[in-house]
Amino acid sequence: MQISDMIDESPDGYETLIFLYTSALHKIHTKIEILRDEFIHLHQYNPIEYIKDRVKSPESIVKKLKKHDREETLSNMVQYVNDIAGIRVVCSFTADIYKIAEMLGKQSDMVVLSVKDYIRRPKESGYKSYHMLVTVPIFLSDGSVDVKVEIQIRTIAMDFWASLEHKIYYKFEGNAPDYISRDLRECSQIVSMLDQKMLELNTAISETRITEVKSEETKRR
Ligand code: 0O2
């Protein structure tokens, strides 16, 4: 079943849409929590700092429709606004981002519609994050319906940059002075350096731990 078969252009239709997007968020949130718990179980290591989700506000949906020159209808919302349901996974290290994306991409009930890797190819603004647009089936009393969710995966450092840049963007209504945009791009490069250094440090710590365990074992023998 398609979402368009379930909704009409009425307030009830809008309520149904929000119910579907909220259900899809619950489903993806649970999937990510299970992957995190399995990771801890197998490797005694938690790659995820935190997970946040949200259903886009009606005002932001309308803004996005206007940006795409689309009429404010529910069917246009479904068709053209890809991030009505959005979930953000904040990881410790860049390498964790790709591990999580790969594990999610392999799940058989999820379809990956598109991927935008703004880590390998940052946006002009300096924005870095890994985006996956997916659909998940939501099982209802009389059938299932595929619902779109945007998953953003990034490190804490990338998240810190994005949230500050977002505030600045709103403060200047998208017209920040040149020097601020330039400084933000510079900060974005510092974020990459920081992420790289932290990853190297973590690898070095893990290797030291492995060497210590091995020498303990040798002593015991
Ligand atoms: P909000 O307020 O976070 O919901 P599309 O979604 O296809 O219309 P686009 O820009 O091609 O538009 O999608 P993309 O690149 O996947 O970006 C979607 C989301 O990524 C944005 O949603 C932001 O959350 C985030 N994002 C993208 N670019 C930037 C950036 O330069 N700075 C920051 N801070 N965040 C960014 P919304 O709806 O624009 O905003």
Question: For residue range 48-102, what is the model confidence (pLDDT) as tens digits?
Answer: 999 999 999 999 999 999 999 999 999 999 999 999 999 999 999 999 999 999 9
125 lines ligand 1 (CB under 6 A): yes
Q: Cα(59) to centroid of ligand 1, in Å?
A: 15
What pLDDT sits at residue 201? 93
What pLDDT sits at residue 103? 95
Q: Which long-range contacts (CB under 8 A, 24 or more apart) does 118-127 make?
A: 119/94, 119/154, 119/158, 122/188, 125/165, 125/181, 125/184, 125/185, 125/188, 126/161, 126/165, 126/184, 126/185, 126/187, 126/188, 126/189, 127/161, 127/162, 127/165, 127/188
On the question of pLDDT at 1 being above 90, the answer is: no
The answer to whether residue 173 is catalytic is no
Read off the pLDDT of each residue in 4-33 and give the average, rounded to a whole number.
93
Nearest to 99 by CA among 218, 199, 204, 174: 199
Give the number of the atom of ligand 1 that is nearest the alpha carbon of residue 152: 20
* DSSP structure string for 41-72: HHHS---EEEEEEEEPPHHHHHHHHHHTT--S
Residue 84 and residue 21 in contact, taking contact as beta carbons nearer than 8 Å? yes
What pLDDT sits at residue 11? 84
195 lines ligand 1 (CB under 6 A): no
DSSP 3-state percent helix, strand, coil across the chain (nearest 5):
55, 20, 25
What pLDDT sits at residue 10? 86
Residue 149, Cβ neighbours under 10 Å: how many? 24
What pLDDT sits at residue 34? 97
Q: Which residues contact 103 (CB under 8 A, 6 or more apart)?
A: 35
Which region among 10-14, 46-50, 145-149, 179-183 has the lowest average model confidence (pLDDT)? 10-14
Q: Which of 59, 72, 124, 150 is catalytic?
A: 150
53 lines ligand 1 (CB under 6 A): no
Mean of per-residue pLDDT scores for the chain? 93
Nearest CA to ligand 1 atom 18: 83
pLDDT band at 2 (very low <50, low <70, confident <90, very high): confident
